[in-house]
């Protein structure tokens, strides 16, 4: 059995996307017989989630991202053989001072010789001059829960009857209401399933509830535990560009997508280029509403377009990425345990 640590952060500001994909990876590692613990900031919602998932956790301060002093203490205490990091605030040089192999979960195209494995499902190919680092690039390595594996080919109806709207865990500017109103103006006969994420502010929730009550064709879902079921019931989606895109792709759900923040751009570009989604650009684009209206009208009227996107998504994302990544990390830890030193991972 290998002891593996995962270091990440979660909060109302950061969101829960990092922690949730780390939990997915942790569960896949446990299937290999590994023991997994978390190094986490002091956020009560994050700690509650780890307790529910029955993972050991160690609380560290935000300063630890810069020097790993507290993390190194946890590594020694837990006798971990691999450290996995999922955080944007890391000082890369801190990796060089660790005695165990390191895995970094990347969203921006990072390259570093200090890290043994860099994971980024939103990039394809391999960087030039990559040194000893093993880059796990491409959608085959996206971390999805088991419920998104082995999906059947989605039936694409001639007429769109239900649209799923999800802007992720938080939506401080209430784009949920804007897209809901724009979509309803085009076709008020459609039913809308709207996701209210765990970090939606109370004023935003109240505003969405007022819009939903006024329209009368909206079902609100508050932090749904099984969003896969909502995806399966929908004919198409309007979505932000986070991890949810890969879940939709695995289930064959065609989607119109907007990049809410910069770290979603790689996801959006990759899946748009592969015909899996229809990108309408960044949330700051002045022509956003026009772009949305054009794409939405096209998708409502073109069953073949939705069918092609659905099949493309299921080709690109098979849902088995967590097992592939867990296998790479398991082997990395096994070699380190045998040799006692950091080594090449290719």
Q: Which are the contacts of 26, defined by CB distance < 8 A and separation ≥ 6?
A: 6, 36, 38, 53, 55
| Residue 151 φ then ψ, to 5° | -70, 145
pLDDT of residue 2: 67
pLDDT of residue 63: 87
Name residue, tokens 């939405």: 296
Q: What is the per-residue pLDDT across 178-236, written as a single tens digit (0 to 9) for each?
A: 999 999 999 999 999 999 998 899 999 999 999 999 999 999 999 998 999 999 999 99
Please state whether the predicted TM-score (pTM) of the whole model is above 0.85.
yes
Residue 263, helix vs strand vs coil: helix
Ranges under pLDDT 70 in the chain: 1-2, 128-130, 340-346
pLDDT of residue 17: 86
Q: Which are the contacts of 9, defined by CB distance < 8 A and separation ≥ 6?
A: 18, 19, 40, 41, 43, 46, 62, 65, 87, 89
Ordered domains of the chain (ranges, CATH): 3-146+320-339 (3.40.50.11190), 150-316 (3.40.50.2000)
**Beta strands in the chain, from DSSP E residues, in sequence order:** 3-8, 35-40, 56-59, 82-86, 102-105, 117-120, 134-137, 162-166, 191-196, 218-222, 236-240, 255-259, 277-282
Name residue, tokens 């949810």: 244
pLDDT of residue 335: 84
Token reading at 216: 């009368």
Compute the distance between CA of residue 103 and CA of residue 117 in angstroms, rounded to an integer: 5
DSSP notation for 30-52: HHTT-EEEEEE-S-HHHHHHHHH
pLDDT of residue 130: 59
Q: Are the C-beta atoms of 242 and 266 separated by less than 8 Å? A: no
Strands 117-120, 134-137: pairing kind: parallel
Q: Are the C-beta atoms of 101 and 118 separated by less than 8 Å? A: no
Name residue, tokens 């064709």: 217
Compute the distance between CA of residue 270 and CA of residue 262 in angstroms, rounded to an integer: 14
Compute the distance between CA of residue 172 and CA of residue 96 in angstroms, rounded to an integer: 37
pLDDT of residue 91: 86
Q: Which among 124, 61, 131 is positioned nearest to 96, based on CA atoms?
A: 131
């Amino acid at each position: 059995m290998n002891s593996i640590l995962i270091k990440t952060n979660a909060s109302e500001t950061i969101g829960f996307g990092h922690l949730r994909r780390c939990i997915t990876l942790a569960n896949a590692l446990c299937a290999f017989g590994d023991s997994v613990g978390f190094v986490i900031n002091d956020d009560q919602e994050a700690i509650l989630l780890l307790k529910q998932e029955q993972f050991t956790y160690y609380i560290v301060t935000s300063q630890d991202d810069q020097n790993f002093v507290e993390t190194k203490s946890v590594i020694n205490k837990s006798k971990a053989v691999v450290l996995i990091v999922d955080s944007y605030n890391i000082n890369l040089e801190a990796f060089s001072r660790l005695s165990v192999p390191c895995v970094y979960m990347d969203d921006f195209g990072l390259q570093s010789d200090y890290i043994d494995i860099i994971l980024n499902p939103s990039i394809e190919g391999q960087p030039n001059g990559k040194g000893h680092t093993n880059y796990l690039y491409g959608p085959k390595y996206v971390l999805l829960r088991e419920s998104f594996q082995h999906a059947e080919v989605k039936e694409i109806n001639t007429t769109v009857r239900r649209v799923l709207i999800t802007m992720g865990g938080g939506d401080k500017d209430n784009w949920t209401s804007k897209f809901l109103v724009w979509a309803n103006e085009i076709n008020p006969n459609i039913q809308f399933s709207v996701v209210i994420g765990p970090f939606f502010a109370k004023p935003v929730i109240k505003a969405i509830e007022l819009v939903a009550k006024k329209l009368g064709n909206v079902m609100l879902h508050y932090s749904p535990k099984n969003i896969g079921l909502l995806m399966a019931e929908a004919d198409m989606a309007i979505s932000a560009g986070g991890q949810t895109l890969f879940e939709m792709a695995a289930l064959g759900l065609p989607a119109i997508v907007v990049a809410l923040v910069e770290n979603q751009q790689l996801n959006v570009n990759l899946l748009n280029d592969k015909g899996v989604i229809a990108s309408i650009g960044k949330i700051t684009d002045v022509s956003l509403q026009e772009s949305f209206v054009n794409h939405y009208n096209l998708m409502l009227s073109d069953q073949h377009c939705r069918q092609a996107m659905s099949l493309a998504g299921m080709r690109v994302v098979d849902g088995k990425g967590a097992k592939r990544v867990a296998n790479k990390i398991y082997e990395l830890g096994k070699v380190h345990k045998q040799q006692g030193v950091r080594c090449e991972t290719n």
